[in-house]
Amino acid sequence: MNSTGDNIAGKVVVITGASSGLGEATARHLSAQGAAVVLGARRVERLKALAGELTERGGKALAAATDVTRVDQVKALVDSAVQAYGRIDVMINNAGLMPQSMLEGLKIDEWDRMIDVNIKGVLYGIAAALPYMKQQKSGHFINVSSVAGHKVRPGGTVYSATKHAVRVISEGLRQEIKPYNIRTTVISPGAVDTELPNTITDAVVAANIRAFYDDVAISSESFARAVAYAMSQPDDVDINEILYRPTRQEF
Ligand SMILES: NC(=O)c1ccc[n+]([C@@H]2O[C@H](COP(=O)([O-])OP(=O)(O)OC[C@H]3O[C@@H](n4cnc5c(N)ncnc54)[C@H](OP(=O)(O)O)[C@@H]3O)[C@@H](O)[C@H]2O)c1
């Protein structure tokens, strides 16, 4: 592993949810700094286009159709990274959705979906990458929580619960994997301009969130820079939590 310089070039990075938003921006940012990126999401055509673009620019990139609610597919994604590049240095568990609504709306399918993608998807990413990292005696998990993983407000209850869970899982993971020299970072962004609000089906909540995002949301490059900051520390430095917001965001 690269342990000098920026500690990014040459690393093998698996990113779930790389077909848009934060994952896509991170793939571009890390690839430009010399990392090999392995991209997972369901919209494989978008992933392939991105991998093609990064490869044309001289980068190393692979794309694999991946539904993070399927443990076998997440394992296949990580296995493909190790087969192609010989190791996995960073697992970015980023895939997620945010169909916010009031509990009384009883959108139970959406609750299930958030639990499956936002919580179980992260656990499946851990399950896929941890055996390799243990064997390597090195690695780095970067799990994506949210400001909503620190706070809750009406309409965001289930989403907040999933994002609180990501922080709890990450902290437990951090403590348990100490013997294996693996780093664990949770990144909790505030409002970032991505496709995320499109997952909201409640018209009133959607309009409110859309207005809020239109007002304050910042670029997904903000997230990519946070990832690069955590990755680029010397190997004996473990950045555990990053919480950031648009300067104008109050919540
Ligand atoms: N944007 C924000 O303001 C914000 C703030 C805090 C936290 N976050 C978190 O950041 C993460 C990324 O979201 P984003 O803002 O970049 O939104 P986004 O543009 O909607 O991206 C979400 C990504 O997740 C993927 N995804 C959704 N369901 C999936 C599944 N079952 N299997 C595999 N991939 C799946 C999507 O790909 P496919 O549809 O192609 O599968 C897409 O690539 C999420 O965990 C979100 O909760 C975002």
pLDDT at 2: 42
Report which secondary-structure segment, H or E, holds 36. Answer: strand 36-41
pLDDT at 4: 42
pLDDT at 58: 98
Is the CB–ligand 1 distance for residue 99 below 6 Å? no
Atom of ligand 1 nearest to the CA of 97: 47
Look at the pTM and tell me if it is higher than 0.85.
yes
User: Which residue numbers are catalytic?
Assistant: 159
Atom of ligand 1 nearest to the CA of 22: 16
| DSSP secondary structure letter of residue 140 | E
CA–CA distance, 186 with 188 (Å, rounded to integer)? 6
Which residue's alpha carbon is at the smallest distance from atom 36 of ligand 1? Answer: 17
pLDDT in tens, the chain (251 residues): 444 458 999 999 999 999 999 999 999 999 999 999 999 999 999 999 999 999 999 999 999 999 999 999 999 999 999 999 999 999 999 999 999 999 999 999 999 999 999 999 999 999 999 999 999 999 999 999 999 999 999 999 999 999 999 999 999 999 999 999 999 999 999 999 999 999 999 999 999 999 999 999 999 999 999 999 999 999 999 999 999 999 999 98
- Inter-residue contact 216 to 119 (CB < 8 Å): no
- Inter-residue contact 18 to 39 (CB < 8 Å): yes
- Inter-residue contact 139 to 128 (CB < 8 Å): no
SS3 82: helix
- Block residue for tokens 């959705």: 97
Is the CB–ligand 1 distance for residue 143 below 6 Å? no
pLDDT at 89: 98
Is the CB–ligand 1 distance for residue 66 below 6 Å? yes
Work out the angle at residue 170's Cα, subtended by the Cα atoms of residues 37 and 154, and round it to the nearest 5 degrees: 105
pLDDT at 5: 54
Is the CB–ligand 1 distance for residue 98 below 6 Å? yes
CA–CA distance, 225 with 48 (Å, rounded to integer)? 23
Is the CB–ligand 1 distance for residue 160 below 6 Å? no
Atom of ligand 1 nearest to the CA of 198: 20
SS3 215: helix
Determine phi and psi for 229, rounding to 5 degrees: -60, -50
